[in-house]
Amino acid sequence: MDLPLRMDLVELSAFLDEAFPSAAARRAFGDIVSVAPGHVRMRLLPTPDMTRPGDIVSGPVLMGLVDVAGYAVVLAHIGPVAMAVTNTLTMNFLRACRREPVFADARLLKLGRRLAFCEVRLWQDDESRLTGQATVGYALP
């Protein structure tokens, strides 16, 4: 999807810092690595408190990363609209994520006047070996 960007990496990161001022919340969401038309990549550096037994990154943490990556790709294309809210999230856990960097590639599927949809793919060492996949929908104000 080739739509013009309304926010670049710096603007998007600054907006998320303002929208989620808690340092703990920002750490839990990861960092934006790149922004391009129709695409945002984020990276999460998991900490021990984000894991479950077996030193595996917990499902709720991964779903949070997916949600923020999807939110970021939508905002990159509509601008700083804080009240774009999640209305659906379907998550598929494909393999365990070790406590190592986790990447989230969010791709915009549809951007309408009231709804936006994206797909988010999670991976670690090799982006062709997915650890998770999700579709996320957002209601736009």
Q: What single letter denotes the amino acid at residue 46?
A: P
Instruction: Name the DSSP class of 82.
Output: T
Has residue 34 got a pLDDT over 80? Answer: yes
Q: What percent of the chain has pLDDT over 90?
A: 85
Q: What is the pLDDT of residue 19?
A: 83
Phi/psi of residue 127, nearest 5 degrees: -65, -10
Single pTM value for the model = 0.94
Give all domains of the chain, ordered by start, each with its CATH number: 9-139 (3.10.129.10)
Query: Residue 31's beta-bridge partner residues?
Result: 43
Has residue 103 got a pLDDT over 90? Answer: yes
Distances (CA, A) of 46 to 2, 28, 35, 41: 32, 8, 22, 16
Q: Do the Cβ atoms of 78 and 45 come closer than 8 Å?
A: no
8 versus 29: which is more confidently predicted?
Answer: 8
